[in-house]
Amino acid sequence: MAPAPTPARNPAAPLDLDRVAALRRADLLTMIHLAKSGHVGGSLSSVDILTALYYDVLDVRPDEPRWPGRDRFVLSKGHSVEGLLCILADRGFFPRAELATYCRYGSRLIGHPSVKVPGIELCTGALGHGLPAGVGMALGAKRTGQTWRTYVLMGDGEQAEGSVWEAAMAAAAHKLDNLVGILDRNRLQISGPTEQVMPLENLADKWRAFGWEVVRVNGHDIPALIAALRGAPCRPGAPTLVLADTTKGRGVKLMENAVKWHHGVPSKEQLAEALADLGVGEVSF
Ligand SMILES: Cc1ncc(C[n+]2csc(CCOP(=O)(O)OP(=O)(O)O)c2C)c(N)n1
Ligand SMILES: [Mg+2]
């Protein structure tokens, strides 16, 4: 049986989610600048997806992160943790001031997702593990008659991992219509364009052939993302893939579509230029 529709829109959500996303981009760039470490491009490309999830779609309780009825979110492209940390802090899962400790000795905010951080479900970073774990979560929910959903955000370079496709097959075999995969299709991975490193196309057809329903969406159009995510499952008995077309480094001219900004640290001048592009003033934590 198909799960019940996603619950009502988060009543605390601010209305201008594009502005919220710009603020979180400014946060993450400042955090990386202060820490002198971080993954810039893939964090910027996925901020709109995370904004749609955390300010609207997900049924989560910041003051009760382990509430058993919560929706599960897994950041399978774990290197892009910075955007997630800035959003979790803004939603109140932990104090915003803690963002200043990112990658410092003794901090629980390290360079990849850690379950020591309230709101994070799974330690990730080794690519190809999030969807298999998400299949287990969704199967567990089905078998115990629970209605919460599981969402897994993957990278396009990550699609080169065989475990993604084993999990895709298993999800269809177990009719996991409570599982939503999201693919950040920014067309770049660590060393170059995906179509040169490991060609993926036709990606939508591949997922369909594995038994998934595919919804293609502009990954920077937050209302469209919300509609696609809330529209799942598209077909009872089938998992849904939201194929989100994105730009790596989105929002900052100097970083957009630039392979070298997969990871990197903006200088003081580059940070100022980035904040100007985003229309955001200096950030403090
Ligand atoms: C199993 C594994 N192999 C290699 C890496 C190193 N690595 C970190 S990020 C990355 C590229 C990922 O590209 P993509 O999934 O497209 O991420 P995005 O473009 O969204 O940053 C690689 C190969 C890793 N984290 N895990
Ligand atoms: Mg990519």
What is the rounded CA–CA span in Å between residue 189 and residue 193?
Answer: 6
Q: With 50 as the cut, is the pLDDT of residue 158 above it?
A: yes
What pLDDT does 15 receive?
79
Phi, psi for residue 16 in degrees, rounded to 5 = -90, 85
What is the rounded CA–CA span in Å between residue 194 and residue 233?
Answer: 28
The number of the ligand 1 atom at minimal distance from the alpha carbon of 80 is 21
The number of the ligand 1 atom at minimal distance from the alpha carbon of 158 is 15
Per-residue tokens: 186? 């920014």
What is the rounded CA–CA span in Å between residue 111 and residue 93?
Answer: 18
Phi, psi for residue 236 in degrees, rounded to 5 = -55, 135
Q: How far is CA 195 from CA 100, 134, 210, 217, 275, in A?
A: 37, 27, 21, 20, 31
The number of the ligand 1 atom at minimal distance from the alpha carbon of 161 is 1
**Where do the domains of the chain lie?**
18-278
The CATH number, out of the four listed (3.40.50.970, 3.30.460.80, 1.10.630.10, 3.40.50.720), of the domain defined by the range 18-278: 3.40.50.970
pTM for the complete prediction? 0.96
Alpha helices in the chain (DSSP H): 17-35, 41-52, 81-90, 130-143, 162-173, 194-197, 203-209, 222-230, 268-278
Query: Ligand 1 within 6 A of 186 CB?
Result: yes
Residues 6 or more apart from 120 whose CB is under 8 A from it?
Answer: 75, 84, 88, 113, 114
Q: How far is CA 212 from CA 98, 209, 261, in A?
A: 39, 7, 32
Out of 8-22, 120-134, 159-173, 213-227, least confident range: 8-22
pLDDT tens-digit readout, 1-49: 444 444 445 656 667 999 999 999 999 999 999 999 999 999 999 999 9
Query: Ligand 1 within 6 A of 131 CB?
Result: no
Query: Ligand 1 within 6 A of 126 CB?
Result: yes
pLDDT tens-digit readout, 239-276: 999 999 999 999 999 999 999 999 999 999 999 999 99
Q: What is the mean pLDDT of the chain?
A: 95
What is the rounded CA–CA span in Å between residue 129 and residue 161?
Answer: 9
Q: How many other C-beta atoms lie within 10 A of the C-beta of residue 21?
A: 25
What pLDDT does 103 receive?
97
Among left, alpha and beta (phi > 0; psi -120 to 50; other), residue 158 is alpha
CB 71 within 8 A of CB 17: no
Query: Ligand 1 within 6 A of 157 CB?
Result: yes
CB 162 within 8 A of CB 58: no
pLDDT band at 70 (very low <50, low <70, confident <90, very high): very high
Query: Ligand 1 within 6 A of 155 CB?
Result: yes
DSSP state of 96: G
- Closest-CA residue, ligand 1 atom 18, reads 42
Percent of the chain residues topping a pLDDT of 90: 95
pLDDT tens-digit readout, 89-105: 999 999 999 999 999 99
* Three-state SS at 188: strand
pLDDT tens-digit readout, 97-129: 999 999 999 999 999 999 999 999 999 999 999
Out of 12-26, 212-226, 271-285, least confident range: 12-26
Query: Ligand 1 within 6 A of 156 CB?
Result: yes
Q: How far is CA 140 from CA 4, 6, 65, 120, 165, in A?
A: 17, 18, 19, 18, 20
